[in-house]
Amino acid sequence: MSGPVNKLGKLVAKINSSGAPAFLREGALSTAFNAQVKMAGVAGIHVETLTEQKSVVSLKNTFRVQNHIGGVHACGMALLAESASGMVFGMNVRDSHLPLLKSMSMSYVKRAKGDLKAIATLTDAQREEIAKSDKGEVLVNVVVTDSAGDSPVECEMRWVWVPKRK
């Protein structure tokens, strides 16, 4: 697959190839994403890496996203997983199509410790299917880990793409 397939991809490619230091690139990616996804901005989602194959996003365990026991709230974990999967998926959906989250499944398996990081990936086969099919669905692989390196939640994010209405 060659080059960005949509406006988002072109913007991200420009930021990633800017030659700016990592903290500036991450800041630009985070600002661009959080301007479009307001809830992510409110929570403080931080974009570390974004390509057509992979996204890495993080969420600091700050007061505004904490639950009653001092960890990141379940909704914050879900937002982080949805954001990571949606970003990498969105990088591959053509501008003539609409990316939509069809379903999300979250199993909270242990208490989260500290900050969280989510890594979402698409396989080459999934990317090819998105590029060639007029509509379809994919299960985006996403893994959430905490500061201790444990996975406090198991996630399934099913995304679909459909043509935009004229």
Q: Quick: pLDDT tens for 101-136.
A: 999 999 999 999 999 999 999 999 999 999 999 999
Q: Is 78 contained in some domain?
A: yes
Q: Is 106 contained in some domain?
A: yes
User: Residue 128's domain is classified under what CATH number?
Assistant: 3.10.129.10
Q: How many domains does the chain have?
A: 1
Chain centroid to CA 68: 26
Q: Is 60 contained in some domain?
A: yes
Token match 């970003």: residue?
87
Q: What average pLDDT does this structure show over 49-55?
A: 98
Copy the structure tokens of residue 115.
């900050």
Q: Is 1 contained in some domain?
A: no
Average pLDDT value over all residues in the chain: 96
Range of the domain at 104: 7-163
Q: Is 2 contained in some domain?
A: no
Q: Quick: pLDDT tens for 129-153.
A: 999 999 999 999 999 999 999 999 9
Q: Is 19 contained in some domain?
A: yes
H runs (alpha helix) in 7-123: 7-16, 22-36, 38-43, 74-90
Chain centroid to CA 130: 17
Among candidates 166, 66, 44, 53, which has minimal Cα distance to 113? 66
Question: Which residues lie below 8 Å from residue 124, measured CB to CB, with a gap of 6+?
Answer: 1, 53
Examine the pLDDT at 1 and tell me if it is beyond 90: no
Q: What average pLDDT does this structure show over 53-82?
A: 97
